[in-house]
Amino acid sequence: MTRLLLRGFDIRKGHLNLARQTALVDVLRPILKSAPLFRPTTSTGKQMSVRMTSAGALGWVSDKSGYRYQAQHPKGMEWPDIPQDILTVWQDVTGVEKLPDCCLINYYGEGTRMGMHQDKDEADFSWPVVSISLGDDALFRIGNTTRGGKTESVWLNSGDVVVMGGPARLTYHGIDRIRFNSSRLLPKGGRINLTLRVAS
């Protein structure tokens, strides 16, 4: 288990062993059944290539009226609760008492990516954000707190956990590409990224 500090991002390589990764995939199955993945549309009308859903009191949605956190899935139901196994990862790596109220679930299929962006829809940037990678490898790009400038990239593998806190919380970041079928964790291939956030 190695730890990489890159521009304030605390990257814990191999934080979750295979058994814990498999356990997380198992707790995600019923969540994906009751809150199916959807493809968000940005306010400019473009569909994102990544499919998403959420667990927790609040979930992230994006449609013609813009992006926001809200208490319901686009189909109208409440989001499922965040499973304890996922909250345990947050508690282990952040050490804070406060619990996240949103677990955003991103699914990357073959050829999908996520452009450089900041996460600033949350009410209070003083809370950290935690990312958990499951499945295929992904090329994660880290920029600066303003758009542009030099960037650094790192491959995220299944079981890696990243903690973003302090000034790094508002750093631009994105996923350039995944190595489809590089992992056997997910039966149909692809990558799941969980991000735990305090949204409200």
Residues numbered 125-154 forming contacts with ligand MD3, rule: CB under 6 A? 129, 131, 138
Is 89 or 168 the residue whose CB approaches Fe ion more closely? 168
Q: Does 171 bind ligand MD3 (CB under 6 A)?
A: yes
Give the three-state DSSP class for 21.
helix
DSSP 48: P
The one of Fe ion, ligand MD3, none whose footprint includes residue 53, by CB under 5 to 8 A per kind, is: none
Q: Does 119 bind Fe ion (CB under 5 A)?
A: yes
Using the CB atoms, write b or e for 131-162: b if 16+ within 10 Å: bbbbbbbbebbbbeeeeeeebeebebbbbbbb
> What are the structure tokens assigned to 39, written together?
């493809």
Residues in contact with Fe ion, total (CB under 5 A)?
Answer: 1
Using the rule CB under 6 A, give the single segment among 23-31, 80-88, 145-153, 167-175 that binds ligand MD3. 167-175
Task: Please answer whether residues 26 and 186 qualify as being in contact, where contact means their C-beta atoms are separated by less than 8 angstroms.
Answer: no
Q: Does 104 bind ligand MD3 (CB under 6 A)?
A: yes
Longest alpha-carbon distance in the chain:
43
Which residues of the chain form contacts with Fe ion (CB under 5 A)?
119
Which residues of the chain form contacts with ligand MD3 (CB under 6 A)?
104, 106, 114, 119, 129, 131, 138, 162, 164, 169, 171, 173, 175, 193, 195
